Chain A
């Protein structure tokens, strides 16, 4: 049982690497160079390494966000929208508060949390009130708010001097401190890790954690024994959307310094795979986030050095998605498990 728990994700990762290598090798004119940059690039110097860690920060948040929803047995497919829109609203607020105070950074994070949380809460309410699957509604609401976010960046809140659709830069004072300059790694990494560990503890040792687990595993059982299933679902969705949005805001505070159109580029969505890869174990999310960030950094470096199309990474991420819930190792045949009906 535990064997399979450990081996299956490793197997997925190995398969993903192999497929990645094959595609790179087949499509590149200088396969050896490409493979070297792709796989070893992120480790070639401290700058690249720091950037890779930094790239895993948003994934830690969105992975945790997905994990929170999964922990209560709901699906949040609107992570991308919550991540993107929550951060944009946060940025706009940040532009109008006094900077260089810790309290304003916190305030901005709370704002993004609420915005993202409200978006996901909406789909949870749709599920409870109208029985409409949160899968589809969260995705659609997320998409709608990606468009709305695009509109805000391109229209009313666009910095007229910027070459692309983006807000003004935030003051440096409000941003998160760097850890490994000149790379992008910032304090957000620590915040993300801490949140993961907190949630890990909550799941294992709190009343709420027990209720989440029970609702996920058997909502009918939970309801019969007095657990307020609806409340748990709402709470899980709210937290999930909120954490995703905080992830987006941390990314802006730590890396971008302003909201740029399309800055989310799949980070929200990938959170789902990040969480699934480690079987929704919050204590391990940082590892799978690192794996995704590694692919992404490798792709970026390879495209810089040998002009490989970075979309390969998306392809590989997709394949990881496909394999992440598969069971490669054969389970014992469960014969004769027929109950005495």
Chain B
């Protein structure tokens, strides 16, 4: 039996401004009533852009969207919703400060006279809540787990009358059993006639759950086939995973540079880091991996000195740096690339020059008697930009005019140009195209000859691509250590965490 196509995308293209990234170069997709569709692709293949276009959040430059066989033009998410298309975001779009109940009905409140009719609302969703096992309606969303939040989002989509449900990496934050339950839910929704599209990295998962799989590669649809006709090998090939090239120079592992013992961090009552101990030697690149925010990013913030640990010690080379300020730690040769590129790693209001010199401006010979030597600083910046192949017109140019890839090169250049002993980096390759990713991998390789790096990430592929050793975090605890050598693919990471959870 051939099922009915409900949504179709034809040759959709999208270029982002001002970065100039071509996210989509000709994507095709068709969704059928009562089916589950998996959208696969490597990082930066354009998956998220595609679903955002479908949901009306972005407008394509070229290409057509058909719903029920008619061309549509979505200007806003509301237009898409009107056709029953709802996107469940990866970073969920709920108002944290409101309760579950309020979130569910925001914008569609049933009312009696002028007031929120809670009773009527509850009746309306009673069945749904049962199905989703959603009970804590009066809890604040901020207090929910990721899995629960996701359920709330799905429930809201259904209340809004969704017939097409788009899920952006729904399993990214879920543990094994939660994942099972989500898929049960999706299957039961499928039976009621919903069309479901979900994004995933995990090929096994896609083949197991989906009826149909579409693979994007560098913005183009390279494969779209029914699951029954596919196997893992074909899909992985289509995704274009670079066969993990053997690291060219197996750098010699040297002296111990960083040692952390029993580091604990609490915020309020929450235990963010729970007695973490580890050690890193020169020549190593160590990944800190967790599925979500499992403390790996917080650990780096503690190491650079942004937060004070509740207990535990940090040793760098031979000295105890637990009490040192950020400035002192940086002087010792610790560099840090924060998680949020645009808000933390860069000052978007400033020029390239001002962004490039932030680690050195106060050191001699760049500053004397409290005055800056701008000529020297300019020369320093030009050298740095040249060395790290950052393409710019002039150093006075506002930094926001640079493309995403160039921004990341600039950040890395700033942190690596002084040859730090230890680089702390959060998600250094996220959201970048393959070329820049390779470039970063290569730079990290060079670092090994004189220093070491700690990479915090929640992206398995990234951890695999960059690190020799991966420490797996779950809820602030260090769970286990994996050596990447001899491991075949990133999916192992997911299963290894799932098994523990």
Contacts and interface: CB of A to CB of B under 8 A. Distances in A.
Do A and B interact directly, with beta carbons closer than 8 Å? yes
Interface of A: 205-210, 213-214, 217-218, 220-228, 335-341
Contacts of B344: 220-221, 224
Interface in B18-67: 18-19, 21, 23, 48-49, 58
B241 interface: no
Contacts, number: 85
A220 B342 CA distance: 11
Contacts of A218: 343, 346-350
B359 interface: yes
Interface in B129-179: none
A340 B349 contact: no
Contacts of B336: 224
B326 A340 contact: no
Interface stretch (B69-77, B196-204, B276-284, B368-376): B368-376
B404 A340 contact: yes
A341 B48 contact: yes
B327 A228 contact: yes
A333 to B, nearest CB: 12
Contact of A341 (B306, B326, B370, B431): B431
Contacts of B431: 340-341
Given A206-B372, A207-B372, A337 B347 contact: no
15 contacts: A205-B372, A205-B374, A207-B371, A221-B345, A222-B347, A223-B326, A225-B330, A225-B358, A225-B359, A226-B325, A226-B326, A336-B16, A336-B17, A339-B19, A340-B16
Q: Count chain B CB atoms within 10 A of each CB in A206, A214, A222, A225 and give the residue with the most.
A: A225
Contacts of A227: 327, 358
A214 to B, nearest CB: 6
A71 to B, nearest CB: 13
Contacts of B342: 339
A312 to B, nearest CB: 38
A336 B19 CA distance: 10
Given A206-B372, A214-B354, 7 more contacts: A207-B361, A207-B362, A207-B370, A218-B348, A224-B304, A224-B338, A337-B17
A220 B336 CA distance: 13
Contacts of A228: 325, 327
Contacts of A213: 350, 354
B440 interface: no
B367 interface: yes
Contacts of B17: 335-337
A168 B134 CA distance: 77
Interface in B310-346: 325-327, 330, 336, 338, 342-346
Contact of A208 (B49, B349, B354, B370): B370
A120 to B, nearest CB: 23
A207 B362 CA distance: 6
Given A210-B372, A214-B358, A217-B349, A337 B18 contact: yes
Contact of A226 (B348, B359, B374): B359
B370 A224 contact: no
Nearest to B358: A225
Nearest to B377: A210
B327 A340 contact: no
A67 to B, nearest CB: 17
Contacts of B374: 205
Contacts of A205: 371-372, 374
A217 B338 CA distance: 17
Contacts of A336: 16-17
Contacts of A207: 361-362, 367, 370-372
A208 B346 CA distance: 19
